[in-house]
Structure formats: structure tokens, C-alpha cells
Amino acid sequence: MLSAMPFPSLLESLKGKEVLLLTHRGADVDAVSASGMLYFALRNSNACIGVPEHINQSAEKLASELSIPFELNPEPKEFNSVIVLDLNSWKMLGSTAEKLKSFSGEIFLIDHHSPSDDCIASKENTLIEEKAASTTEILFKLFKEQGIPISKEMAILAAAGIITDSAHFSYASRDTFIIMAEALEIAGISYNKIVGLFFVERDLSETIARLKAAKRCRIFRIGSFVIATSDIGAFEAQAASSFLRLGADVAFVGAAEAGEVMVSGRASQRVLEFGLDLVEDVFEPLSARFCGEGGGHTAAAAFNGKADSLDEVLQECVSLVAEKIRKKSNEKVQLREYR
């Protein structure tokens, strides 16, 4: 935990005020769920959920199912206070970043991603708990600790955020399971029904993108670990996750346009237990070399930067993983590519 903001007094101080609950651009289920939990907790305030640029389909369906209102591209200046949720980097706010930088009111931040160098909120107004599977897990725990009533809707949202951001419990701690059990009990509905609230059939364009990524895949081996890389123009994160399901230990899928590159990375539980951290071992060093920024979680992270060639960036990702594995194994294991 990076900080411990006075949460109960925060909610009390916001009563009657205009409060913006701000997610990252392309808000996902965890971002919307965390915002929804606070929206219901701040019933005595004029709270509004704001989403920069766009919202993903699953999150939009969940908001519709639970009648959670949201506004695209909000204007922070119209509010007294802003609570930033599920992010801690200015880049994740897209076009809303500049608007928030000129905001004169108080800003708070609650997140579970690895801290970036950005300071969106002051230290005393920042709460980052990297070990939490989701931002909703943090909020549920805070509500319980401080005796804040958790409604059925809030419990459903807590569960939805945990399910999606833990990749259906692939990345979950003991606390995650305890909180999930408590949330299900309060929600009073089954796990499958909660999943149904945000489940969206995969559209054809995503299916084609995943298959194209597989067609363009390069396969590397370092010791007993397999690394897969590929390039596509959309759904990079989904394609990287697909490679893990096919058996890769680490996957990097990227896209490039006009000198800008974006790479999504995913790592299996097996390589995490070996000691690999995608943020610390790959995307932070990558940021220094390619003038960009990387962040996310140990097992799921992303990088945005500048490079003449996407292949050069992907190759560096592979090299950084290989370097980490060599250091941890204390062996001169060979990196080889399968063709």
C-alpha cells in the first residue's frame, strides 16, 4: 500500500459536493465497477462517473444492467472534487489529462496498478495497493474496515471487478478469495449470473485479430520457458492472452503507426513464480530506451513509446526476459528461435 488516505472522512467531506469519479480511457469492468461502488456510496452527493474517450463493451453492458450512469469526456472544472480510479498515469486519461491538470479542486486517487512516476494526486490523497487483484477489492476492504454499508449492487460490482481483473482468479491472493466469498454472500446471486452481467460475445473483428496474431507469431525458447511475439493492429492484449492459453509462458503483441508503438505483455503463473515481473523487468527498461511509458501488473502490462520498428521493440522485450531468466537461473542458457 503506497498510502492510507483518511477514507471515511473523505466520503463525509464529499457529501453535498459535485464529485467526478474519473476512470481511465476505454474504461473496463473494474474501472466502471469501482466507480459504481463509489457512486452508490456517495448517494448524498452529486456524483458523476466520467469516462475519457470510450468505454469497452463489457463495462458498458454492466453499467446498463445495473443502471449506472456515466458521461464520456467529462469536464473536471464543473466539479468540486475528482476521484481518479483504476489508474495512476496521466497517459491513461487520454484527452482528459490536460483538463485535469488545470483542475483547481482537490484530487484523490485509488488504484491497484504498479505506481508510475506521475503525481496525479498528492501523496496524502493517493491510495495504491499493488497486491490487490482489482480496484474493487480495495474499495470493498475499505468499506468493511470503516463500517460503510455495502449494498447488493456494490457487492455485485466488487465481484465483477475481481473476476475480470484477476482473469477469473488466475492472479488472486488469499484476500481476493475471502473478499469474493463475502461479496457473493451480500450479492445473493451466483457467480455465473454476475459474469452474465458483463459477458459480451466476441465479435468477428477480435476473432480475426487473434488468428492473424497467431499466423504472424514468432516463437522463442530460453531454458524451459517459451516466449511468443506478434504484431497486429488491434486487440493486442486479447491476442497476448490467447498465446498464454496456447502454452506460451510470456507473450508480447504490438502495433505500430507513424513511429508510435504499443505493446501488450502477458505472463503465465509459472514464469511469475520463477521471478519475472513484466513491469519491473521488461516495460520499465523498455521505456528508457524507446522514450515511452510502461505500466500495469506483474503478469499483465503494456508499453507505449516511439520507435522506427515494432520488431526492434518486440525483440528487446524477448531479450529482457531472457536476461532476467539467465540471472535467476545462474546459467548461460541459450535463447533460440523456432522457425
Q: What is the full DSSP assignment across 248-297? A: -SEEEEEEEETTEEEEEEEE-HHHHHHT--IIIIIIHHHHHHTT-EEEE-
Predicted local distance difference test score (pLDDT) of residue 2: 40
Last residue of a domain, one of 198, 224, 247: 198
User: Which residue range forms the structural domain that includes residue 303?
Assistant: 206-338
Mean pLDDT of 279-294: 90
Query: What's the confidence (pLDDT) of residue 294?
Result: 85
CATH of the domain at 230: 3.10.310.40
Considering the domain boundaries, does residue 2 fall inside one?
A: no
**pLDDT band of 288, cuts 50, 70, 90:** confident
Considering the domain boundaries, does residue 96 fall inside one? yes
The whole-angstrom separation of Cα 80 and Cα 14 is 9
Query: What is the CB-side half-sphere exposure of residue 20 using CA atoms within 13 A?
Result: 26
The mean per-residue pLDDT over the stretch 239-258 comes to 95
156 lies in the same domain as 16: yes
Look at residues 198, 229, 251 and tell me which one is the last residue of a structural domain. 198
pLDDT at position 1 is 42
Q: Are residues 268 and 295 in the same domain?
A: yes
Same domain, 239 and 153: no
Decide: 317 and 252 in contact? Cβ < 8 Å: yes
* Distance in angstroms (rounded) separating the CA atoms of residues 170 and 176: 11
Q: Classify residue 157: in a domain, yes or no.
A: yes
Same domain? For 317 and 273 the reply is: yes
Residues pairing with 293 in the sheet = 304
Residue type, 184: L
Spatial separation of the C-alpha atoms in residues 154 and 172, rounded to whole Å: 20
- What gap in Å lies between CA 286 and CA 21, rounded to an integer? 32
Q: Are 226 and 169 contained in the same domain? A: no
Burial of 333 (0-12, 13-18, 19+ CB in 10 A): middle
The reply to whether 43 and 192 lie within a common domain is yes
Contact 208, 230 (CB under 8 A): no
Same domain, 314 and 232: yes
Q: Has residue 47 been placed in a domain? A: yes
The answer to whether residue 234 is domain-embedded is yes
Q: What is the pLDDT of residue 7?
A: 59
Mean pLDDT of 102-107: 94
Is residue 93 in a domain? yes
For residue 8, pLDDT beyond 60: no
Residue type, 282: V
What's the CA gap between 212 and 18, in Å, rounded? 46
Q: Are residues 78 and 213 in the same domain?
A: no
In this structure, is residue 1 part of a structural domain? no
Residue 122 lies in a domain: yes
* Separation CA 242–CA 208 (nearest Å): 12
Domain shared by 190 and 289, yes or no: no
Mean pLDDT, all residues of the chain: 92
The C-alpha angle 292, 237, 246, rounded to 5 degrees, equals: 130
Helix%, strand%, coil% for the chain, nearest 5: 45, 20, 35
Q: Are residues 180 and 142 in the same domain?
A: yes
Mean pLDDT, rounded, for 185-199: 97
A 10 A CB-CB count for 262 gives 18
pLDDT at 59 over 60: yes
Burial 178-196 (b: 16+ CB within 10 A, else e): ebbebbbebbeeeeeebee
Pair 127, 60 in one domain: yes
Tell me how many domains the chain contains: 2
**Who's near 190: CB < 8 A, 6+ residues apart?**
184
Residues 6+ positions from 273 with CB-CB distance below 8 Å: none
3-state DSSP call for residue 39?
helix
Distance between CA atoms of residues 55 and 25, nearest Å: 7
* Among 172, 198, 224, residue at a domain's last position: 198
Residues 57 and 184 in one domain: yes
**CATH number of the domain within which 91 lies:** 3.90.1640.10
Does pLDDT of 35 surpass 50?
Answer: yes
